[in-house]
Amino acid sequence: MLTVDKLQQHYGGSHILRGLSLALKPGEVTVVLGRNGVGKTTLLKSLMGVVPVTSGGIMLAGEDLGPLRTHQRVRAGLGYVPQGREIFGRLTVLENLQMGLASQPAGTPLPKALFELFPVLDKMRGRRGGDLSGGQQQQLAIARALAPGPKVLLLDEPTEGIQPNVIQDIGRVIKHLAHDQGLAVVLVEQFYDFAEELADQYLLMQRGEIVMRGRGADMKADGVRERLAI
């Protein structure tokens, strides 16, 4: 579904991503792990075109994303949930969701499935986004990214600052999106137990490079938790 070939990225004189290559399959959750500052968020921003890359290729279902701007990548099939959620606090839940359709033709309706995935949003359509709890805002951010019907969903630390019961709900939604609806999901995560539970494959990053990769079922045997502590 999505292939990344030898991706290089620089911030000024700093070399952030160092030759990253990866491949995502439909129906799988790929977990990207690593300590703070290793380039996980930069990887997602590079895939979305939020930050420019120095070199390397990004292909989505056979389409070269390199020349495309961020909104064009959304139209091509990328969905992005940034760290910190970045919802519009003064807009209502419904208006936030409609913003997710900005790349679509005028008049495109919101998928009813969004409210089936997140029933709390259906009850709060008219409430301002800034008045929601952190967990509700995270659900809103995910629903907004799903509104245009992406092929690949990029999630940047969706459990950050979220209460445990909502974390469980988000985990169930991620599994459903991948295993039942066939999305390719990239999950950047610091919460190891959550990542291990969801991972079909994992990537471990250090200093802008992928230093370990494998099947999610092998994370414990591979000693991934211990490597995160190094």
**Contact (Cβ atoms closer than 8 angstroms) between residue 92 and residue 61:** no
Nearest CA among 139, 101, 103 for reference residue 122: 139
Q: pLDDT tens digits for the chain (230 residues)?
A: 899 999 999 988 899 999 999 999 999 999 999 988 899 999 999 999 999 999 999 999 999 999 999 999 999 999 999 998 899 999 999 999 999 998 888 888 999 999 999 999 999 999 999 999 999 999 999 999 999 999 999 999 999 888 888 899 999 999 999 999 999 999 999 889 999 999 999 999 999 999 999 999 999 999 999 988 76
DSSP 110-166: PPTHHHHH-HHHHHTTTSBGGGS-HHHHHHHHHHHHHTT--SEEEEE-TTTT--HHH
Strand-strand pairing, 201-206 and 29-33 = parallel
Instruction: Tell me the CA end-to-end span of the chain in Å, nearest whole number.
Output: 32
CB atoms within 10 A of CB 10: 15
**Contact (Cβ atoms closer than 8 angstroms) between residue 70 and residue 102:** no
> From residue 208, how far is each of 68, 84, 97, 120, 166 by CA, in Å?
23, 22, 33, 38, 31
Range 171-191 burial, b when 16+ CB lie within 10 A, else e? bebbeebbeeeebbbbbbbeb
What are the sequence ranges of the domains in the chain? 2-228
2-228 maps to which CATH number? 3.40.50.300
d(CA 157, CA 194): 10
Q: Is the pTM of this model over 0.85?
A: yes
